[in-house]
Structure 1
């Protein structure tokens, strides 16, 4: 009974060990390996947008600047007009045949023209009529003797002789016809006779050439 009991106990112990070992082995073989979780890649996060603030004293540049177009500057030519005074010796169209220094007048009977001179320079030139045959205007160098703005001829029935400038007896510059010859005086248009009267003074030289 004792031996059987010991043997039974040994068998039971082995059985228990085998069962236990088998169970343990079975559990180990059947056990799934633990799942190792792989850490996920970090998400790309956009950097925060930081607004750029303009300085307090300047406005933000929001508009495109257009390039400045420079137009070529065209210089305008400026013409300076210079008043040219005609010398006492000649004019471009009608050369004066006299030589007068200072103030005076020159007459060319053949050219039918008179020149007014101031300071040795011609200031006016105009057509004339002179004495008819038998009453020719005398030639030579004379001087202004007297003047009368509203003269009337005592020789020719009180005929008007406006702006008369006398230089040789009764011979004078005065307003008269430019289409008819005179009795010896120098006829001028009214405007020119008035200018001769206002410009010439007693004593000024008058030269009459043929």
Structure 2
């Protein structure tokens, strides 16, 4: 015979059932301790000042551990890979998208029309579609033509679409969801890293996912308006 209060079998069952219900509801009664934040050691990046200003850090152009953590938090929030705290080109381009989202045409550079207009801002390397003053395709990053192969500015029109297109000039390079708007220049997806090689050969490159969504919106005859100058190219 043992001493002390015996536990009721029913009480034990009730406790087990309650614990299981809490786990299923995401309310684990004994949660594991959160993993500590790992150190952030990325150095100063080429877009240090721009990121510091955007995320509200002191703007001195020199990466600190606090800057690194803040940049990494921005990267994680906005899906930048790798989220390592380094203020590189992918993070900067994402920052431009985030900053433009409330009103990408705030400067009025893209003409407002009653019909759909695909707006290609080469200054900021951004694209969106508007109809009237309403944005019908949200702003996304793009890669326009490099120096000597610049994307041609001005008014254009989608004149041909080829979903599984391959380049006849560049060794059958894939150009998924191609929507041609001017003499061989097209809006199309780019497999791999969007920001490689300093620019395209004149086309407006999007991620494949963004190019597919744009393909599902546009049609032949839709207007495209291009303006500005890609950073790093001649006027």
The normalised TM-score by structure 2 is: 0.48
Partner of 2:224: 206
- Unaligned regions of 5+ residues in structure 1, if any? 1-89
- Please report the RMSD computed on the Cα atoms of aligned residues, expressed in angstroms: 1.7
SS state of the match for residue 192, structure 1? Answer: helix
1:17 match = none
Match of 2:50 in 1: none
Partner of 1:94, secondary structure, is coil
Deviations 1:131-186 (A, max 9, x none): 11110111000111010110000000111000001000110011114212100000
For 1:183 and 1:137, the matched residues in 2 are separated by 8
**Correspondence for 1:187:** 205
SS in 1 for 2:211: helix
Q: Does 1:92 align with 2:102?
A: yes
> What residue in structure 1 maps to residue 3 of structure 2?
none
Superposed CA deviations along residues 40-88 of structure 1, whole A, max 9, x for unmatched, are xxxxxxxxxxxxxxxxxxxxxxxxxxxxxxxxxxxxxxxxxxxxxxxxx
Higher Cα Rg, which structure: 1
Closer/same/farther in 2, CA of residues 191 and 118 from structure 1, 3 Å limit: farther
Cα distance in 2 between the residues matched to 1:191 and 1:106? 18
Residues 175 and 190 in structure 1, CA contact (< 8 A), matched pair in contact too: yes
- Cα 1:93–1:209 change in 2 (3 A) is same
Distance (Å, rounded) in 1 between the aligned partners of 2:221 and 2:121? 20
**How many angstroms apart in 2 are the aligned matches of 1:107 and 1:158?**
26
**What SS does the corresponding residue of 2:209 show, helix, strand or coil?**
helix
Q: CA deviation at 1:100?
A: 3.5
Q: Which has the higher helix share?
A: 2
1:78-126 deviations in Å (ceiling 9; x for gaps): xxxxxxxxxxxx8525336202421130001011100123465212210
- 2:203 and 2:139 map into 1 onto residues whose CA distance is 17
- Report the number of matched residues: 121
Q: Which structure 2 residue ranges, 5 or more long, are not aligned? A: 1-99, 229-235
What TM-score comes out, normalization by structure 1 length? 0.54
